Chain A
């Protein structure tokens, strides 16, 4: 769970009900979440945003800062990118001990598979229409990501795609690319 078990919480000098409440809540949820990912993930996250900040700074300089009387297109992105860079450094320096990250678990592979099926849908949609890719998406998510039985999968997939067809094509006549 995210941010609870900071040491010293128990010996809080003043009994602040609001804080107690939050701690209790956080503790309550602790068991339901995967373990936190540790300092490496914290630093890694900081490095990614740092890279974005630095890239933004460099690109913004290229767009031209202008002057304060005549601000160039790069001035505002430059200011924001510098802020991102500075904050990311602070995150790398002080954020190591945060516990608000989550480990990737074996079920994270489900998410990856889900993303792949979405990309496939986007790629196939303009080529063969929305019906077949939608049906495939439903089957993949129900059967392989959701662990539903084949029978359940078949019934729900077909019904859902039919409902979408009825809604988008027949009722709203929205120009979705389609097979028939």
Chain B
């Protein structure tokens, strides 16, 4: 029984992390933070550096929440990778960040968030960035 947060170092991602930590504290469950870079390239800007990972751990520890940061690689579907982790850690809730996208942007890149919302086997909490 865990809370799972899909995390990127963006305002939406940080909003999701805050809510995830709060939920984990509320439900008294451990937190799993998934930060999944794309497989293949030597460098991926979504990949968190070790310092950023320990910041997350500290942030959660301040609220008395135990957190595990996972960084699995994903292929052409981030949703599938996330789903695999959801099953593996037996998550009760998935928290993701949403951002506003133009219709053209959605057409070109699809919407990972939509796929997660529709496909996930457990409830999904979608969070918007502050402001």
Contact = CB atoms under 8 A, between A and B. Distances in A.
Determine direct contact between A and B, CB below 8 Å: yes
Interface of A: 146-149, 151-152
B103 interface: no
Contacts of A149: 76-77
Interface of B: 39-40, 75-77, 108, 110
Contacts of A152: 76
Contacts of A151: 108, 110
| Majority SS at the chain B contact face | loop
B42 to A, nearest CB: 12
B110 A147 contact: no
Given A147-B75, A149-B76, A151-B108, 7 more contacts: A146-B40, A147-B39, A147-B40, A148-B76, A149-B77, A151-B110, A152-B76
Contacts of B75: 147
Contacts, number: 11
B74 to A, nearest CB: 10
11 contacts: A146-B40, A147-B39, A147-B40, A147-B75, A147-B76, A148-B76, A149-B76, A149-B77, A151-B108, A151-B110, A152-B76
Contacts of B77: 149
A178 to B, nearest CB: 31
A148 B40 CA distance: 10
Contacts of A148: 76
A33 to B, nearest CB: 16
Contacts of A146: 40
Contacts of B110: 151
Contacts of B76: 147-149, 152
Nearest to A147: B75
Contacts of B40: 146-147
A151 B110 CA distance: 9
A158 to B, nearest CB: 15
A159 B76 CA distance: 20
Name which of B40, B76, B108 has the most chain A CB atoms within 10 A of its CB.
Answer: B76
A149 B76 CA distance: 5
A120 to B, nearest CB: 24
Nearest to A155: B108
Nearest to A148: B76
A13 to B, nearest CB: 38
Nearest to A152: B76
A85 B110 CA distance: 60
B75 to A, nearest CB: 5
Contacts of B108: 151
A124 B6 CA distance: 47
A175 B77 CA distance: 41
A149 B75 CA distance: 9
A152 B76 CA distance: 9
Nearest to B77: A149
Nearest to A143: B76
